[in-house]
Amino acid sequence: MASGKKLTGKKPVRRSKRSVKKQQKRRGPVMRFKFSRLVLIWVLSLIICFGAYLYKVNFHPDPEKTTDTESSAVVEESSLAEESSVYVPDSDESSQGDSLIDVSLAESEDEPAVPAGPKKINPVPGTVVSSHTPDYLDTCAFIGETNIYNLGLAGLLKAPYGYYASETLTLQNYQKEQVILKDGTSPEGTGIRVLSAIRSASCPIYLMFGTESLSTQGADETAEQFRIFMNDVQAAAPEAEIFVMSIPPVTLAAEKAEKPIKNAVIDEYNSKLLEICNEENVYFVDTNTALKDNNGRLDAHYAMEDGIHLTTEAGQILLNYVLTHIPE
C-alpha cells in the first residue's frame, strides 16, 4: 500500500568523501592575517637595530673615523687662524709678548679708507694765550689768493718761503699759474708753480682759497674744487700737516656790488670746508669768526675799497687767531 509521502523521481546527491578532500586540498589551508602584528614586528626590529648602533658607536668607536674627525678640526682651526692673520707666539716667544697682526686686513673693502693718524678735532679749539710765539709763522707755508698775497706784501709773512700766493692765483688755475718768490736772485723774483714749490715739504701748510671763486660760482662747486686742490697738496707734500683756513667775511657794500659775494654763501662754503676737513682728517681753523662783526659781516674798517680783501690790520688779527688755535 502506498505511503502518505509523495515520492519524486529525483534522488539526493551525495558526494563521496574522496571528492570533498580533493576540493579542500585545492583551496588550501585557512589562515587568518593580522596587520597589527606585522607593524609590531617592524617596530621591534627597528628598536633592536638602533640599540645595536648606539652600543657600537659608544663602546666600540671606529679609530679611523676618530682620526679623520680630529684632523679636520685641526685643519679648520688653522684656516681660521690664517683668515684672521694673527700670529700666536709659541711658548718660548710668549714671554716676549710679541704678536704680529696683519693691518691690511683691518680695513674692509666695502668701507672707505680712513685717513691715517688720530682723529682731528675741528674747528681747532683756541687758547686764551698763544702757546707759540710769532716765530711759529716763520716755520709755516701759507698758500692762497689775494688775501694771503697781501699778508706777504705787508711783511706779516716771511719771504720768500713763508707764503706762496698771487693776485691771480685761484682754484681753477693753480696747476699752471706761477707765484713769484722774492729770493734775491733777480729784481723781478723767481716764478714757480705752487705744487712744485711745496713738493716734499714737511712744515705746517695753511691753505685759504675760495674768495675769488665765489663771485662767479656757488659754494658746492667751489668746495669740490678746493677738495681736489687740497688732495694735490697732500700728494705733493705727504709729510706736511695741513691746516685749512675759512675765508673771511665781506662788507655790506661787497654784498651789494655789481658782482656780489654774499656772506650767507661764504658761510655755506666754510661749512663745506669743515665737512671736507673732517672727511680728510685735516685741521680746520675758523679764521672767519675772528673778523665778523655783530651783523655777521666784515667791518668796513678792516676792508679795502672793494669790501672783500683785508687791510694789514685785519691781516694781523687773522694771524693772531692762527697763533691761538694751534693743536698741541
Closest CA to 242 of 98, 103, 142: 142
In which band, very low, low, confident or very high, does the pLDDT at 116 lie, cut at 50, 70 and 90?
low
**Residue boundaries of the structural domains of the chain:** 135-323
Question: How far does Cα 83 stand from its chain's mean position?
Answer: 21
How far apart CA 120 and CA 24 sit, in angstroms, is: 109
pLDDT tens digits for 19-32?
Answer: 555 555 555 555 55
Phi, psi (5° rounding) for residue 163? -150, 150
Top CATH class of 135-323 equals alpha beta
Residue 219 has pLDDT above 80, yes or no: yes
- Position of cell 662783526? 293
Average pLDDT of the segment spanning 238-245: 97
The dihedral formed by the CA atoms of 39, 43, 44 and 46, expressed in degrees to the nearest 10:
140
The dihedral formed by the CA atoms of 179, 182, 186 and 188, expressed in degrees to the nearest 10:
50
Residue 93 has pLDDT above 50, yes or no: no
Cell digits of residue 33:
592575517
Closest CA to 248 of 220, 222, 281, 285: 285
pLDDT value of residue 24: 52
Could you give the percent of the chain with pLDDT greater than 70?
Answer: 70
pLDDT tens digits for 60-85?
Answer: 555 554 445 444 444 444 444 444 33
The DSSP annotation for 246-270 comes to PPP---HHHHTSSS---HHHHHHHH
Query: Looking at the whole model, is its pTM more than 0.75?
Result: no
- The beta strand positions in 120-279, using DSSP E, are 141-144, 163-165, 178-181, 190-193, 205-208, 242-245
Residue 18 has pLDDT above 60, yes or no: no
DSSP 217: S
Handedness of CA 297, 301, 302, 305 (dihedral sign): positive
